[in-house]
Amino acid sequence: MLWISAILFVGILAVLLSLYFLVAPGWTERKEIKKRLSLLELRNLEYADLPDVLKSELLSDVPALNRILANLNVAVQIDRRLKQANMEMKVGTFILLSCLLFGLALLVGAFLHWPFLIAVLFGAFLFVVPTIVVNTRKNLRMKKFIMYFPEALEMFARSLRAGHSFTGAIQLVGQEMPDPIGPEFQKVFDEQNLGIPLRNALIGMTNRIDLLDVNFFVTAVLIQRETGGNLAEIIDKISYVIRERFRIQGQLKIHTAQARLTGIVLAFLPVGVAFILFLMSPGYMKPLWEEPVGRSMIFAAIVMQIAGMLVIRKIIRIKI
């Protein structure tokens, strides 16, 4: 049955890709940040170091569930992703929604008399749908932030040259720049007005905005406040570096366009050919899902297909 093979393919592909996009980017970015900023002493605050106003945030409205989630590092990571995606959903609601979708898939599979493995794979696909939505919103927000970040830095530097104070420059950027840059800078200004040390407020912004350029900006500001120097000139140089990175990335997209197109063709060509063969000669394709050897071949083909897609993606993704 072709639809069983299609569900099997979609389920395995969704699980593997969602896990890759959820885990791999965080590992890579953290390694890169630690490598470049190890000598600058910029690191995330420990929970004990956070002000009381930041400790009061709940991971769930259910007290028992909140106590359980507070002791899990995974829950903290999910909460960070939700904040980076600018979603008001709590971690408990996110986890319960994912589990509800998984259970709903099992009920649908039992009602339609699906094989247990197919029902589990379909449930796994629905289970990761909220994660995919959060990651997609987070990535779109980060892209929008970095697009306007050089302009925000230039406004920040011009404000300093005009004689404004550091916090005044932050407030100006928060008021004049669009979302998501404006609200993030405004949040830094509001937090330091509430009594949170400026260092903690700036590092909090690096937790909400998971970008290397923001870490560079915060590191430069913290070092300048300790050692002195022309902060406006430093900010201008950071803005120039970011704009040059944009220019180089545009050139890389041109040079890797053929490789990206090749990866797309190689990814969808086998599925398309199999579908066309099934339409032309259904009996020719039946042994693939009726015989044990055929099912093993389908599974091996799916695994190799996903591995090939990830390898091609790794080759064409050049970090600047």
pLDDT digits (tens, 9 = 90+) for 159-204: 999 988 889 999 999 999 988 899 999 999 999 888 888 889 999 8
**Of the candidates 204, 224, 206, which has an alpha carbon nearest to the alpha carbon of residue 215?**
206
- One domain for residues 212 and 266: no
Q: Say how many domains are in the chain.
A: 2
Which of 215, 243, 271 is a domain's end point? Answer: 243
| Residue 156: domain span | 144-243
d(CA 221, CA 202): 9
Q: Does residue 90 lie in a domain region?
A: no
**Of the candidates 105, 181, 96, 84, which has an alpha carbon nearest to the alpha carbon of residue 130?**
96
- One domain for residues 200 and 287: no
Does residue 42 register a pLDDT over 50? no
Percent of the chain with pLDDT over 70: 81
d(CA 100, CA 87): 19
d(CA 90, CA 59): 5
d(CA 72, CA 94): 15
d(CA 301, CA 307): 10
Q: What phi and psi values does residue 273 have, to the nearest 5 degrees?
A: -65, -40
